[in-house]
Structure 1
Amino acid sequence: MPSSHRPEPSRTLDAAATAALLPWTALADEIAAVLRDASVLVPARSVLPLPLGGTLFVMPATDSRVAMTKLITLTPANAGTPRPTIQGDVVVFDVATGERRLVLDGPTITARRTAAASLLAARHLAQEPQGPLLVVGAGVQGFAHVEAFVQGLGVRDVRVASRSAASAEALAQHARTLGAKARVVADAEAEVRHCPLIVTCTPAHSVVLGTPPLADAFVAAVGAYTPTMAELSPALCRHIAQQGHIVVDTPDARHEAGDLLQAGIDVADLPTLGDVLQGPRIQRTGPVLFKSCGWAGWDLAAARLAVRAHDHAGAAAVTVGTAEPRQWATP
């Protein structure tokens, strides 16, 4: 006899509607909650090279109530074209019923959870959390980190460095709309001496910083997520390891953190963000490098928060449609 049960229709949300469910402070708090949740299971992500130079990422995760998978493609050849470099979705299921609850915009989830993880790390590790902030790279992660640090840390002085003058000015203008003073800088290395907050969020095709940071600096490096990628010079990484502290986002960084691996640093020996939250606080002496490679646990945190916020607001309050995300993000 056929079942009379009709599952609730899942909701497909565009970039703007996805972002609206994920305010910065709440998302950083949710990432911290995921790190403390013993029911969370996150298998290694699958990375499948595609025939024409792209990559397919498959990133599942679950806890006791929510299961999700992020399916995204990275197509570098789309850079400079109307097509986004990163495309895809995060599909969220109810563990108890198996029903699909939400389909979220994948690039938006990726951008926001990466910046929220940096925000969480900065809240615990930055000695001068109000900046000034130097952002190297003016793609999607540059925009996300500026929003997260301005709204989550109270940063009011932003300097932007990018290979693209137009992109740098667009990010600086965005920072101004958020209430921060912002300007484009031509020499990122020179600004390192004046900024206790630094974020590198480039495509990581080449090293963009090699100058030792201030003794009280917090550096979040998010662009490199494979052994062959790097944004920070080996000498800079070794300097921070010797004079301060390095924290990685998860144990997976031991085979993904190209900046550190190329510097000959034993990544397996480094504390993780979870260690920082669950154990004794790292002493705030010397510069701190937070090396982020990306983890499906962050996507699970975003999925959990989005489901709760969507349920609270009601489906009628959410706009459904399509929107074009910006170009670069860390898988």
Structure 2
Amino acid sequence: MTPSCAMTSALLLDPDATAARLPYPALVAETAALLQDTSVQVPERRVQPLPGGGSLFVMPALDSRVAITKLITFTPANAGTGRPAIQGDVVVFDVATGERRLILDGPTVTARRTAAVSALAAQTLAPNRSGPLLIVGAGVQGRAHLEAFAQTLGVARVVIASRSDASAQALAQHARALGLKARVTQDADAALADCPLAVTCTPASGVVLRAAPRADGFLCAVGAFTPRMVELGPELCRHVAAQGTIVVDTGDALHEAGDLLQAGLDVAALPTLGGWLRQPSPARAGPVLFKSCGWAGWDLAAARTALRGL
């Protein structure tokens, strides 16, 4: 092996190695720290449509020490084929030297940073963190959210809903292997009445949750990231807007939060998670909806976490 090959091998982390460098408690803490860091810059991401219905995402971000670019493809047609819908890498550079420090597995970063942001939002906004946690969608994001909420909020009970019973049962078994109590439901709307915490993490090809959350409920919707995608019924969104609080991950939600846009809500007027952390608003009674659309800043937080100890 030549020295250049050895260097490349050392830099390139596979999914397991990437996950090992992104423990959820540390990733949640780093995400909160990033939202307080005034040196962070996140240019607008480029989404390039691909033939066949896929998309190429180019997502740069930087702070005073680290610069990253996330390059991933999103291919909905891969559903059911055994090929992942999200593929790609996060390339991490040292700002001062220009040196490439790491290449992280893109899908692993996406799954873990998304779940970490949801967990941070729940820590910050949830009126009742006791659980059970309802997870709608039993794929990669469902598993990531299960692990993140268990490790950072102490959730001990989960209820899982999925259009695939096999996937739901597999995730429930994984939860039990982690020492959690888990059950599968065929009716997510009915289960919502018993779950003060809920996350929807589906492909967002249609509404999966219509019932209004509990008065002390926290609902996190992560699946939809274009105006056409949707997981939550419009009446649900309008109910929370009238009776509780809606917070979005970033200002980019103005153009991407399909659930809220299709409900006819003024997304530009909604508070962001970063704004809430920097200047907490007075507590308001009623349910909380956190809408997550994705942001390269979350990938930068993951890169900063992964660099620790190197």
- Same fold? TM cut 0.5: yes
Amino acid in structure 2 at the alignment position of 1:296: A
Partner in structure 2 of residue 103 of structure 1? 103
List 4+ stretches of structure 1 deviating above 6 A.
Answer: none
Distance of 1:124 and 1:280 partners within structure 2:
9
Partner in structure 2 of residue 271 of structure 1? 271
For the residue of structure 2 that corresponds to 1:208, the secondary structure is strand
For the residue of structure 1 that corresponds to 2:103, the secondary structure is strand
Distance of 1:25 and 1:282 partners within structure 2:
26
Distance of 1:113 and 1:287 partners within structure 2:
24
For the residue of structure 2 that corresponds to 1:271, the secondary structure is coil
For the residue of structure 2 that corresponds to 1:215, the secondary structure is coil
Q: Counterparts in 2 of 1:215-226, with a 5 A limit?
A: 215-226=215-226
Percent identity, please. 70
Partner in structure 2 of residue 290 of structure 1? 290
Which deviates more, 207-216 or 278-287?
A: 278-287
Distance of 1:128 and 1:39 partners within structure 2:
33
TM-score of the superposed pair, with normalisation by structure 2? 0.96
Amino acid in structure 2 at the alignment position of 1:243: Q
- Point out where structure 1 has 5 or more consecutive residues left out of the alignment: 1-5, 312-331
Distance of 2:245 and 2:170 partners within structure 1:
33
RMSD: 1.2
Shift of 1:280: 2.4
Amino acid in structure 2 at the alignment position of 1:215: A
Amino acid in structure 1 at the alignment position of 2:100: R
Partner in structure 1 of residue 172 of structure 2? 172
Distance of 1:109 and 1:129 partners within structure 2:
25
Q: Does 1:301 align with 2:262?
A: no
Aligned length: 304
Distance of 2:118 and 2:284 partners within structure 1:
17
The higher-RCO structure (CA 8 Å, 6+ apart) is 1
Amino acid in structure 2 at the alignment position of 1:221: A
For the residue of structure 2 that corresponds to 1:116, the secondary structure is helix
Shift of 1:145: 0.3
TM-score of the superposed pair, with normalisation by structure 1? 0.90
Partner in structure 2 of residue 325 of structure 1? none
Amino acid in structure 2 at the alignment position of 1:220: C
Distance of 1:109 and 1:196 partners within structure 2:
27
Partner in structure 2 of residue 239 of structure 1? 239
Q: Counterparts in 2 of 1:200-215, with a 5 A limit?
A: 200-215=200-215
Amino acid in structure 1 at the alignment position of 2:220: A
**CA deviation profile, 1:189-213 (whole Å, cap 9, x unmatched):** 1101110000000000000111011
Partner in structure 2 of residue 324 of structure 1? none
Partner in structure 1 of residue 79 of structure 2? 79
Distance of 1:119 and 1:230 partners within structure 2:
21
Partner in structure 1 of residue 57 of structure 2? 57
Shift of 1:153: 0.5
Shift of 1:130: 2.3
Distance of 1:87 and 1:300 partners within structure 2:
18
Distance of 2:83 and 2:118 partners within structure 1:
27
**CA deviation profile, 1:41-76 (whole Å, cap 9, x unmatched):** 001110001112211001000000000000000111
Shift of 1:279: 0.4
Partner in structure 2 of residue 329 of structure 1? none
Amino acid in structure 2 at the alignment position of 1:169: Q
Shift of 1:281: 3.8
Contact 1:125 1:284 in 2 (8 A): no
**CA deviation profile, 1:109-165 (whole Å, cap 9, x unmatched):** 000000000000000111221211100000110000000001111111100000000
Distance of 1:284 and 1:17 partners within structure 2:
42
Distance of 1:83 and 1:230 partners within structure 2:
23
Q: Counterparts in 2 of 1:5-16, with a 5 A limit?
A: 9-10=7-8, 11-16=11-16
Distance of 2:132 and 2:126 partners within structure 1:
12
Q: Does 1:46 align with 2:46?
A: yes
Shift of 1:282: 4.3
For the residue of structure 2 that corresponds to 1:251, the secondary structure is coil
Q: Counterparts in 2 of 1:61-140, with a 5 A limit?
A: 61-140=61-140
The change in CA–CA distance for 1:205 and 1:269 in structure 2 (over 3 A counts) is same
Amino acid in structure 2 at the alignment position of 1:9: M
